Copies of this chain bind each other. A is one copy, B any other.
């Protein structure tokens, strides 16, 4: 297996880490071990929806030692930096989405599952002007779904 034509798992991990470091630096965050590991899990190319607990579990299973408190802090730092978007669909827990672009969600309450709806799909029209002194920040659409 020639070194030049196929990466080893180790190479891939290293690349993922390099990408994470670059991304963190670009967003003004120190690339600490914990942030690199969490970023490696979150920004793997797919759009992802996580809760603090799900990400902590995933990190733990992946062998990354990160405390739950740090996961919470990191999710908020990433959100503040613009790497993540927080989504409110369930009073019980906070979800974070790696897709920070303009899009909406299906939410399956029974399973606590979020599914992206591409931005171009849904159209919201005739949003009235907000009350005096207020400006529209964002329009969130949540399509709540149930087992048929």
Contact = CB atoms under 8 A, between A and B. Distances in A.
Interface stretch (A31-39, A42-50, A72-80, A88-96): A88-96
Interface stretch (A3-11, A17-25, A129-137): A129-137
Contacts of A108: 134
Contacts of A130: 106, 143, 145
Contacts of A125: 122-125
B135 A144 contact: no
Nearest to A140: B142
Contacts of A133: 147-148
A61 interface: no
Interface residues of A, number: 37
One complex includes copies of this chain to the number of 2
Contacts of A115: 131
Interface in A84-137: 88-91, 93-94, 106, 108-109, 115, 117, 121-128, 130-131, 133-137
Contacts of A146: 134-135, 137
Contact of A124 (B93, B106, B122): B122
Contact of A145 (B106, B135, B145): B135
A141 interface: yes
A139 interface: yes
Interface of A: 88-91, 93-94, 106, 108-109, 115, 117, 121-128, 130-131, 133-148
